Structure 1
Amino acid sequence: MKRADWLAAVLYFLIALPALQAARAGEAAAEKPLPATTEAALLMKDIVPEAPVYIRVFKEESELEVWKARPNGRYALIKTFPICNWGGTLGPKRTQGDSMSPEGFYGVTPGAMKPDSKYHLAFNIGYPNALDRALGRTGAYIMVHGDCRSVGCFAMSDKLIEEIYAFVRDALAAGEPSVPVHVFPFRMTDANIKRHADNPARDTWGPLKQAYDDFGETREPPKIGMCGKRYVVNSLTPVGMDPNAACPALIGKRLAPLSPRLSRRLAQNDPSLEARGKKMKTAQESSSIYGFFTSLSWGSTTATISAENRPARQSSDASLGAVQPLLGP
């Protein structure tokens, strides 16, 4: 090699060295285990570190919650992380370049992990989902990442994204196919809904309110379906993930285990219902979006529990307000 070529190679290496060091630091960050204090707290609650994860994001409060499954299938709040920055205002993201952070139901798959992100670490939450695309919403690469800067993503500090990343990485490695990430405009209490009654995005918040309330009762991540260009939350009748498909005439809701007696009665009344699934709470005529949230009638099929025999419904606002994370931020 000529001296000039050798000097050029050395110069190139010196110039590239900072980038190589940064890449190695990123790889090391992506491989960091959960902090020992976090693992100890999980084990004390009989939660294995690789247990399934559920993430909730609240824009107005600038908070990200990490929940993990306990052996009984219920989820425990592990930690609430402060969000450095998110983009835009309350309401869903609609177009590429609007700098808005989305709202809705998303998920992180193994291919969405970004250990080499220029924002320290990142994972893609999956916007736009099928419903977003059906509604004509555009944009891409909405991440939870580090570096505290955002033009539509949810930006954390570098230290906090390392722990959040480890939670998601370990759950995916243990077999969780997709970590649900549900993004809310705020904590969906009745008081907050009333406070934002004049917000133009209010008509998009119905399913988010349902998911928030259902989780407050069950501590199980809500099951999300799509049909009729809308979300369906915890449906009794099977609903797929095709937002352009027609919705069933009756959908219903399931939240708690069915008694054998009610299971048999449901099957006799309508064999097409998932009688061995979970307990019906409400039903609606799919032609009415508002009926989806308010109806208590099955039409000609009687399968509801009488008001005097129905157990009192616990206030999800109160129950969620009483939840304390296992660990502080």
Structure 2
Amino acid sequence: MRWRWHLTKQALLLAAMVVVAGSAAMQSHARADEVAAEKPLPSAIEAALIMKEIVPEAPVYIRVFKEESELEVWKARPNGRYALVKTFPVCNWGGTLGPKRVMGDSMSPEGFYRVTPEGLKPDSKYHLAFNIGYPNALDRALGRTGNYIMVHGDCRSVGCFAMSDKYIEEIYAFVRDALNAGEPSIPIHVFPFRMTAENMKRHAGNEARDTWKPLREAFDDFARTREPPKIGMCGKRYVVNALTPVGNDPYADCPAVIGKRIAPLSPRSSKRLVKADPRLEAQGPKLKSAEASFGWTSPISGAMFAWGTGGNTPSTRPGKPSQNESDAALGALQPIVKR
């Protein structure tokens, strides 16, 4: 009996040693991730931002393109326009083109999302991660299910957007610094592809094409203004850059008329616009030329204000850029930092 008890004690001791070793390894891994989460932006990126007069804590805008497997990081310049800082390759994403609909479909979502401070995951088992906020209010209103959709490291994905560990450290630092500087959230807009006319034509037969209308609108607006599109929800649909105030309740009725806001005007010009037409609600909008069922010509620079009904978004036709909408004013077309 004594030798059996001795062997049992040895087995218990060995098991305890294994548990302790495993716990130590897990703690070491957690500490490594915590250190990674605190890494500053690489000095080369910080230097490039300084050269463009962009502070590291400036607001961030992220775009993801599924077909191209690319993630872009844009940052605000002093003039309010955003410049492309860097384009990162996405290792993996889930499913095919089109929105995520149900939990377990292995699809990566498409749409308009936001990263909040609560969404940062410095202790992720995929090195580092942040939650993009799927499902948003519209997804839930449309019956879409699923959760914990992340941008993370480790290059493995089932519905998330997986990056290399090196790149997630950089992307995480961009997001962390902007949130720590006081930004309440970081917009992250996920597109099926770069929504050029050629690509839209190439995918015209895709069954998801009806879900891409607001994404195409946001893509086109940003190409013209270099300002992240303002996204609202009503009538169980997205509303992009609405002139009439639109909230974020997908169950709310849409306003009877929805205009198109492109770029903000000065406070003085805003007051003149509201005086000319109270429907503008002091939003201070400046609109690109547009075609709609009816329009109204502004006394300011002859701008055309397009109004669509609550059920329809006015079709738009970009006008020629003004002098202050040159590439230099809008922001860099090429990334400031090469990958």
Mapped contact 1:211–1:222 kept (Cα < 8 A): yes
Residues in 1 aligned to 2:266 and 2:158: alpha-carbon distance in whole angstroms: 49
Quickly say closer, same or farther: Cα 1:46–1:15, change in 2 above 3 A: same
Q: Shift in Å at residue 263 of structure 1?
A: 4.5
2:228 alignment counterpart: 221
Q: CA RMSD in A?
A: 2.5
User: In the alignment, does 2:195 pair up with 1:188?
Assistant: yes
Whether 2:60 is the aligned partner of 1:53: answer yes
- Shift, 1:285, TM fit: 1.1
2:116 is aligned with 1:109: yes
Give identity over the alignment, percent.
Answer: 72
3-state SS of 2:278 partner: coil
Q: 1:10-58: CA deviations, max 9, x gaps? A: 4432232211111111111111110010101011111111111000000
Residue 93 of structure 1, aligned match among 95, 100, 103: 100
Match of 1:285 in 2: 309
Partner of 1:301: none
**SS of the residue aligned with 1:64?**
strand
Deviation per CA, 1:189-235, whole angstroms, max 9, x where unpaired? 01100000000000011110111111111111000000000000111
TM-score normalized with structure 2 length: 0.85
Alignment equivalent of 1:79, drawn from 86, 89, 106: 86
2:163 to 147, 156, 173: 156
Alignment of 1:152-301 (within 5 A): 152-258=159-265, 263=270, 266-281=273-288, 282-288=306-312, 292-294=313-315
Q: Report SS of the residue matched to 1:100.
A: coil
Partner of 2:293 in structure 1? none
Residue 35 of structure 2: aligned partner: 28
Answer with 1 or 2: which has the greater Rg.
Answer: 2
Q: Please give the per-residue CA displacement for 1:98-131, whole angstroms capped at 9, x wherever unaligned.
A: 0000000000000000001010100000000000
Q: CA deviation at 1:164?
A: 0.4
Instruction: Report the Cα offset of residue 275 of structure 1.
Output: 3.9
Q: Quick one: structure 1 residues 160 and 313, their matched pair in 2 at CA, closer, same or farther if it must change by over 3 Å? A: same
Name the CA distance, whole Å, in 2 between partners of 1:40 and 1:264.
40
Report what 2:303 is aligned to.
Answer: none
| 2:76 counterpart of 1:66 | no
Unpaired runs of 5+ in structure 2? Answer: 1-8, 289-305
1:324 aligns with 2:309: no
Whole-angstrom CA distance in 2 between matches of 1:280 and 1:256: 7
CA distance in 2, matches of 1:146, 1:259: 42
Query: Size of the alignment, in residue pairs?
Result: 309
Distance 2:197 2:146 in 1: 31
Counterpart for residue 118 of structure 1: 125
The alignment's TM-score, normalised by the length of structure 1, stands at: 0.87
Residues 170 and 262 of structure 1: CA distance in aligned 2, closer, same or farther (over 3 Å): closer
Q: CA deviation at 1:269?
A: 4.9
CA shift, 1:279, in A, is: 1.3
Q: Partners in 2 of 1:180 and 1:204 — Cα distance?
A: 19
Which deviates more from structure 2 when the two are superposed, residues 28-37 or residues 259-268? 259-268
Structure 1 spans left out of the alignment, 5+ residues: 297-309
Deviations 1:128-157 (A, max 9, x none): 000000000000000000011111000000
- Correspondence for 2:48 among 35, 41, 44: 41
